[in-house]
Amino acid sequence: MVKKLIISIVAIGLIVSAVVKLAHNKAEINKQTTYTEIVSNVPVKVITAQQVTLDDPLNFVGVFKPSREATVSAEIAGKIVRVFVEEGNFVHEGQVIAELDTTLLALQLQTDVAQLAHSQEDLARYENLIKRDATTDVTLKQARLTNRLNEIAVKNTGEQIIKSTIKAPISGYLSSKNFENGTVVSAGLSIAEIVNVNVLKFTAAVPEYQVVKLVPGQKVKVSADVYPNIQFTGTITQIAEKGDENHIYKVEVTVSNDKKGSPLRAAMNGTVKAEGNTKSTGIFIPREALTGTTDKPQVYLAISGKAQLKDVSTGRAIGNIIQIATGLTVGDKIIVSGLNNIKNGVSISIADAN
């Protein structure tokens, strides 16, 4: 009986194992079939690599920023009881924009002044007594210390009252205002922002091979996207000493906001144009044809009906096209669309050739 039971268990185990194996093999077959259906004869478009010469203008896009901007904050904590400006107003440096309640500080100052007057009288009396040896040096020193502390208290409370007036740190427009009468503020907490757009900073990102053609003090033309036909004169004021990992350098241009009919505003997009356009010769391809990584760029070539991955090195970028420095030769067929559905070695179907 036991022997039959063991044989039955073994038989069941073999059957289960066979079923699992068959299911796994079927899944693999389905997976391979699905993969083949996706990657076989993928329709793609190609372009033919050609040696061309292109204008390489010194044009860079960027954004306008305020030449100066600052946050407004109270120097001491308190409740705002007077407001003298509204959001959007132009304010001058040092202009009072709000005042804090000074009722308690005024009472404190009165107390400090009274205590100072009392200590001054005591000090004068002890100085007369010491001349007649009617008091001790210790008592006189204590009177002098008390008087000095009261002087400091009067000065400190007076400073607190002065600091209860909130002033504009720079001249400019009040771009945001987060307080009203009755608002309780903390010392150092931002309650408003001021931007000065009489002069703007235009910041652009410039590749390394072009940044060497720019120098501080150079005059350039700047336009805003909203005013494409209007040019502003700018001056390059700063060129970053260090670029980022993509060899891009920050260039800053100072622009006078002097056209009343076409006022520039912070955060507008624009373009800067510098003299010194050059020409670049080589093989250029659309940027979207590149695959791989920044450190290891690659392209797919159409060779004998298959997609072949090719390592390349890149050169200059002009707009949305990029120069291929090495890795391609004239006549190569470069795949420019259908890249998401192919991998190295799969068969392709060329839908269009240029």
C-alpha angle 195/201/205, rounded to 5°?
135
The span from the CA of 341 to the CA of 278, in Å, is: 38
CB count within 10 Å of CB 100 equals 24
pLDDT, residue 54, reads 83
How many domains are contained in the chain?
Answer: 3
Domain boundary among 278, 312, 332: 278
**Nearest residue to 126 via CA among 116, 136, 117:** 136
Q: Do residues 206 and 248 both lie within one domain? A: yes
The span from the CA of 155 to the CA of 163, in Å, is: 12
Dmax of the chain from CA atoms? 130
Q: Do residues 291 and 256 both lie within one domain? A: no
- In a domain, residue 4? The reply is no
The span from the CA of 59 to the CA of 16, in Å, is: 71
Q: Do residues 157 and 113 both lie within one domain? A: yes
- In a domain, residue 29? The reply is no
Q: Return phi, psi of residue 24, to 5°.
A: -65, -45
Tokens of 218: 């150079």
Domain boundary among 278, 301, 330: 278
- In a domain, residue 131? The reply is yes
Domain that holds residue 152: 102-163
Residue 340 belongs to domain with CATH number = 2.40.420.20
- In a domain, residue 316? The reply is yes
pLDDT digits (tens, 9 = 90+) for 136-186: 999 999 999 999 999 999 999 999 999 999 999 999 999 999 999 999 999
Q: Do residues 348 and 285 both lie within one domain? A: yes
Residue 272 belongs to domain with CATH number = 2.40.30.170
Q: Taking a C-beta distance cutoff of 8 angstroms, is the pair 116, 147 a contact?
A: yes
Q: Do residues 201 and 272 both lie within one domain? A: yes
Q: Taking a C-beta distance cutoff of 8 angstroms, is the pair 169, 72 a contact?
A: yes
Domain boundary among 220, 253, 278: 278
Q: Do residues 319 and 345 both lie within one domain? A: yes
**Nearest residue to 274 via CA among 20, 57, 3, 49:** 57
- In a domain, residue 218? The reply is yes
Instruction: Tell me if residue 265 falls in helix, strand or coil.
Output: coil
**Residues 224, 228, 231, 236: is their CA dihedral positive or negative?**
positive
Q: Do residues 207 and 227 both lie within one domain? A: yes
Q: Return phi, psi of residue 82, to 5°.
A: -145, 135
Instruction: Specify the amino acid at residue 346.
Output: V
pLDDT in tens, the chain (354 residues): 555 555 555 456 556 565 556 556 655 555 544 444 455 789 999 999 999 988 777 888 899 999 999 999 999 999 999 999 999 999 999 999 999 999 999 999 999 999 999 999 999 999 999 998 888 999 999 999 999 999 999 999 999 999 999 999 999 999 999 999 999 999 999 999 999 999 999 999 888 888 888 999 999 999 999 998 899 999 999 999 999 888 889 999 999 998 888 899 999 999 998 887 677 889 999 989 999 887 789 999 999 999 999 999 887 777 688 889 899 999 999 999 988 889 999 999 988 555
The span from the CA of 49 to the CA of 68, in Å, is: 49
The span from the CA of 17 to the CA of 30, in Å, is: 20
In sequence order, what are the residues at sequence separation of 6 or more whose Cβ sits closer than 8 angstroms to the Cβ of residue 86?
174, 177
